[in-house]
Amino acid sequence: MTNPWRPLALAAALIVVVGVGVATAQTLIVRKAPAGSNVEFVLNAETIGTAVVNANGDATIVAGGTAKSDMDAYLYVDTCDTLRRVVVVQRSQSPAAPDSGCTRNQISGLYLVRPISTLVVDVGGAIPTVLLRQGSYSLAPPRAWATAPKGIIGFGGGAFTKFSEFGNVACGTVTQCSRDESGFGYTAGVSYWLSPYIGAEGAYLKPSKPTADGSGDGFRFNSALDADVFTVVGKVGGPVGPVRLYGEIGADYHRATLETTETIDTQTVVVDGVTQTTKGGTQTLSLETSGWGLMFGGGLEVWLARRFAVYGEGSYIAIKGNAREGEGLIDDHVIALTFGVRVHIY
C-alpha cells in the first residue's frame, strides 16, 4: 500500500530506545505507566497479551496471537484505574467500546502494522504517543564506549615472530637441514600519548627461539638463536570512537646469542694399507651479538572501558649488529604480530 498517512507519527513519539534486531512476533512496549498496574494488548477485538508494569514504569508484551499479514491500523489507548489497554484496529474495522470508567485516546495517524512490528507507547503524558519500528527494540541504554586516551599506558601480551634469514645462515650448504624460524614469544612496554594523535613508546620483545638441525656424512649439528629486543618508536594515530589506528617508526636494540653444537663421528680410513682413525667429538660454538636496527609497523587498539583496551599490531624489526667479542655479525629481520591488553595508568 502507498497511503501517504502511513509514515505519520507525532514528534513527541521519539522515545530513546536502542538495539535493532529482527522480531519474530508483534511486540508492545508500554512506558511511563503506573508501577504495578496492568497492561493489555488488543488486536482488533482479541486480547493477545497482558503484562504487569515494573518499578520503572515499563511493560513488555510479546504477542502470542499476532497478525498473519500486514495491515493499516489505527491505534487507541484506554486509560482505566489500574489498567492501560493498547488497541490496534484494522482500518476497515471499528474498535469495541471502552470499558465503563475508562478514557479512550486515539493516537493520531494511520500505521503499517506487520507481524514483526514493535510498538513503543508512552502513556505518561496527557496524550499517548507511539514509536513504531519494523523490528525489535531494547530499553537498555546505549553503551557508552570509552575514547582512546592520552597519557601513560602500560601494555603486555603475546607475540608471533618469524626470523627471515636464520635458517639460511644456520643450514648453509647442508641439504639435510630442517629449520623452525617462527613461534610465540611475549612483549611488554609503556606508551605515552602527548595527545590522542602523537605519542612515543618503549617496549621489550622476547621473540621465539629459532632453531635448525642438520646432518651430513659423518657429522650433525643443531643451532639456536636466543634474542632480546628493546624498541623505541614514535607513534602517529587517529581515534575513531573507541578505536585508535596508529603507525610507528623508530629503532631497536638487540642482544643475542647464537649457539651451535656440532658432533663429528669417529672416522676410520685405510691409507696405503694402514688403518688410520680420526677421533670424533662434540663442540659448542657461541656468537654473541648486539646492535641497533630500524623498526616500523602499525596497529590498532580498542578501548573497551575507560582504562582497559585490547590491541594488535604488526612490525618489521631489523636485527643487525656485530660480535660483542671476537669476530662475527648478524644481519636478519623479524616480522612480529603482537596482541594483548593496554591499561591507562595516568
pLDDT of residue 274: 78
pLDDT of residue 217: 85
Phi, psi of 162 (to 5 degrees): -140, 120
What's the pLDDT tens digit per position in 170-202? Answer: 898 898 999 999 999 999 999 999 998 999 999
pLDDT of residue 265: 81
pLDDT of residue 314: 96
pLDDT of residue 212: 93
Place 162 in a pLDDT band, splitting at 50, 70 and 90.
very high
pLDDT of residue 66: 59
pLDDT of residue 65: 57
Q: Are the beta carbons of 345 and 330 closer than 8 angstroms?
A: no
Place 33 in a pLDDT band, splitting at 50, 70 and 90.
very high
What's the pLDDT tens digit per position in 113-122? Answer: 998 899 999 9
Place 69 in a pLDDT band, splitting at 50, 70 and 90.
confident
Q: What is the pTM of this model?
A: 0.61
Place 325 in a pLDDT band, splitting at 50, 70 and 90.
confident
Place 5 in a pLDDT band, splitting at 50, 70 and 90.
very low
pLDDT of residue 17: 34
Phi, psi of 150 (to 5 degrees): -105, 175
Closest CA to 179 of 193, 165, 191, 190: 165
What's the pLDDT tens digit per position in 236-275? Answer: 999 988 999 999 999 999 999 999 999 888 777 777 777 7
Phi, psi of 169 (to 5 degrees): -70, -45
As a whole number of angstroms, the distance between CA 197 and CA 77 comes to: 53
